[in-house]
Chains A and B, each alone.
Chain A
């Protein structure tokens, strides 16, 4: 250290324009000024151009009555409601199809990955064909395939296919008999919710005690028993009829009642989740194969059964590799749901485009659409990044 002493004091003699610290600060400030300058110019230019074209950035039109219909709104909607409400309907549709799509794609993708890794030759080949088919054709083509070709082969309303359940399948969609809550159904649901909550708490407490004391606390039978008691109690309180089956029936032109999946939703959901499942399968396979072989051999050597090798050794290590690319797949799925307008599913983008046309406000509506997808994506990454941080190695 003493050898360097004269060198450091020499620094005072270096002119400021050759001083590394000053140059660094100067470069930072300069690049900040340039970037901010370009941004300000772009924004000013945008507003000037928009003004000149009479395209004002106002959102007051959102309160006006929309006047256009939306296919099968998931929340209460009619054309006399506002543009804002129409937008909400689209948003709920987007959330619905991407949320369900993410869940299904994750489960199905993981299964496909396990099949792909299976030592069963046929299973592994089938998985390979599935993955390559879905990874190598565009999503839009897949959408049209499902919507116009697959659902196009389904019979007309009058010749509906009837499956036991009862389930009806025709060009208008899939109608499934569905239990609906009766007037007293609320009591049952409340009791069931309390029951689930109580049994989970009991489960955790008893299991913790067993871990500490080492004595058998019968946590599983105890919590399950509690659950059954609460369910029974709720069922009795509601007079024995908490639910009533809503069975679809033919009423002149169309089927009414039951739970209905429209061809638009089904086509969107299936193509979106199968497409993403293929990518997820590859991500999961990559993650599992990246786990060191020695880890698996070691786990087997100490006598862990195969399921525990998977759940205690392979998965915890594979997840660290799987989660980051998985987040991208989830974001892709959400954003890809905007292709819905091709097959008439009314997601936020499809509704947005109608609003642009009916209200004549392209700029604010596009801003709103972009903001929606941006918030959805940021929210998804935020939640998953918290999870990602939890499962990573604790660095020392």
Chain B
């Protein structure tokens, strides 16, 4: 018996030896396994697609519409980058991520951009990746049921609070109650949808998140008017797209696309008029649209009209905002407040394109 199988065994052993030999040489040079040093721009060009970590469950930021198309503020930013780099705003693959998954996914560079209403904090900047430019100034608020009998945050003692795990919200919540010396019970879910269905069902008195998110979620409730968002902000939540660590060119490209969208609003360049603005007499408009001077495209390896393509794909910053959250926005209405352009008294400001 044993002798009969000996040749088979011998072949197997030789094969295995060869394989280990190949394996050990591969280990010496960090080849395909270690992909961090890889150039993300080339990866995107080869693939013909921008892989964007986003979400599909938050109206206004990233939500599937009736046709299954992902729509939202965060998704439009990915489309703008795809238009600038590949010339096609539809060349985007959105990977839906939960709040707890987004950090590790960015750390391992599985996505090209993380645009998923991520709050920029120092520790995340150090650990997760490079944060580009604040696209949405938000703050954490509380939503309660109108008939709950709670009038203000002073009456929160002993309350039950529904919250998403792995968020800055979770930490701010505990800080808030600790500082005010109040007791509370946290009910923590990983899925955002679970948080709000538990709240709507009455499992919690209060739910807490970024105010934009609360407004978005309330718009999806069966009876939105039964819930109020308290007029108190307990934290700073600068929502910022991020890119993986270790690729400066890609970092610059994504940053400059966001600058372009903000500058376009300032200069009056819109999705509709971008072509005719190419013959504008404002020199800053010509620079933005790549008609005059070099805004940096040569060094970044992009086309001169890359930013013009981004604007024509999704519009300027104000247009993106209004599309989802403006007075006639398709998701809900949220006054721009701090997200007004700087010359209107808001915080949205970007370095010039020149």
Contact = CB atoms under 8 A, between A and B. Distances in A.
Query: Do the two chains bind?
Result: yes
Interface of A: 20, 23, 27, 30-31, 34, 37-38, 41, 44-45, 48-49, 52-55, 67-72, 78-80, 148, 151-152, 156-157, 171-172, 251-254, 256, 263-264, 341-344, 346, 350, 353-354, 356-358, 360, 362
Interface residues of B, number: 63
A48 B27 contact: yes
A270 B152 CA distance: 37
B128 A360 contact: yes
B118 to A, nearest CB: 11
Interface string B166-193: 1100110111001000001111111100
B347 interface: no
Given A156-B202, A344-B198, A350-B190, A49 B24 contact: no
Contacts of A31: 13
Contacts of B202: 156-157, 171
A202 B166 CA distance: 56
A52 B173 CA distance: 34
B127 A360 contact: yes
Contacts, number: 156
Interface stretch (B30-38, B133-141, B296-304): B30-38
Contacts of A78: 178
26 contacts: A27-B9, A31-B13, A34-B20, A37-B24, A38-B20, A41-B23, A45-B26, A45-B27, A45-B33, A48-B30, A53-B109, A54-B245, A67-B174, A67-B175, A68-B174, A71-B185, A79-B174, A172-B160, A252-B155, A253-B205, A346-B188, A350-B188, A350-B190, A357-B166, A360-B123, A362-B107
A354 B9 CA distance: 48
Interface of B: 2-3, 6, 9, 13, 16-17, 20, 23-24, 26-27, 30, 33-34, 36-37, 99-100, 103-104, 107-109, 123-124, 126-128, 148-150, 155, 157-160, 163, 165-167, 170-171, 173-175, 178, 184-191, 194, 197-198, 201-203, 205, 245
A376 B269 CA distance: 62
B20 A148 contact: no
Contact of A263 (B157, B191, B203): B203
Contacts of A358: 166, 170-171
Contact of A54 (B107, B155, B158, B203): B107
B149 A68 contact: no
Contacts of A354: 100, 165-166, 170, 188
A171 to B, nearest CB: 4
Contact of A71 (B100, B188, B205): B188
Contacts of B170: 68-69, 354, 358
Given A45-B26, A344-B198, 10 more contacts: A41-B23, A41-B27, A52-B37, A53-B34, A55-B107, A68-B170, A68-B174, A350-B188, A357-B165, A358-B171
Contacts of A53: 34, 36, 107-109
Contacts of A37: 20, 23-24
Contacts of A356: 100, 103-104, 166
